[in-house]
Amino acid sequence: MTSALAESMMMSGSTKLAQDTQASTHIRGNVFEQALIRRVQAGEAEAFYELVRPYERAVFLAAVAIVKNDADAEEVAQEAVLKAFKALGRFREEAKFSTWLIQIAINEAKMKLRKDRRHLYESIEQGQQSDDGEYIPRDFADWREIPSEALERRELRNALKKALESLPEKYRTILILRDVNHLSIAEAAQVLDLSEANVKTRLSRARLQMRDALAAGFGGLLGCSGRAEEAQAV
């Protein structure tokens, strides 16, 4: 009993230490970022690249989720970074810098679509739309988590890319923000100017629609494999 108690206390202590270390690292990162912002606002333009560099990929991915091609996304990302540099003096730190920057990129991407007069009429072969245009998944019963090892297969990576590109913009964007850029629900809500409840609902529908697209792309393979696993488990 004494040995088990000691082991439990040691494990608890290790967990707390890891949490404290993570929190301390996060605080140091925020302090360093705030210092970079102050330097840029004080006229040290060279510090801006160091400030933006950790978020370059996140900005690009947010842009490509809307414009749907790499060349336009690069252009949008560059314009977003330039606008962020020009507007940094007015940045009041009501949001994280990364959230603010991604929001600028999303706005720029939407502006580019309007400027280019693109009309994105998107649909998916399986599934239905409700009266307000929200997605209704084809079947709730068959869905299982996609095995992590399967994601390494080239065929599935290609299918994931194709499925993501097939989603309407609002679903594609929320998946990129949450599942790729790992923004919190609150941060995604701030970027998209939505309530947190709406973000959660849209994210759930986006994930279900993504699975519908993948299942259709693999001839129903993912759904069938889920039913096969159930049969074996019985």
φ, ψ of residue 114 to 5 degrees: the values are -65, -40
How do residues 19-38 score in pLDDT, each as one tens digit?
A: 554 444 445 657 888 999 99
Of 182 and 233, the structure prediction assigns the larger pLDDT to 182
Mean of pLDDT values over 107-120: 76
Give the three-state DSSP class for 142.
coil
Mean of pLDDT values over 71-76: 93
The CATH class given to the 16-115 domain equals: mainly alpha
Question: In whole angstroms, what is the distance from residue 79 CA to residue 82 CA?
Answer: 5
Give the three-state DSSP class for 136.
strand
Mean of pLDDT values over 87-104: 88
Angle at 179 between CA 189 and CA 109, to 5 degrees: 60
pLDDT, residue 199, reads 94
Spatial neighbors of 171 by CB under 8 A, at least 6 apart, are 135, 202, 205, 206, 209, 210
The CATH class given to the 128-233 domain equals: mainly alpha
Between 75-89, 117-131, 158-172, the lowest mean confidence (pLDDT) is in: 117-131
Task: Kindly report the average pLDDT of the chain as a whole number.
Answer: 75
Beta strands, E only, the chain: 128-129, 135-136
Which of 39-48, 115-124, 128-137, 156-165 holds the top average pLDDT?
A: 39-48
Of 155 and 134, the structure prediction assigns the larger pLDDT to 155
pLDDT, residue 118, reads 46
Domain boundaries, the chain: 16-115, 128-233
pLDDT, residue 142, reads 42
Mean of pLDDT values over 96-111: 92
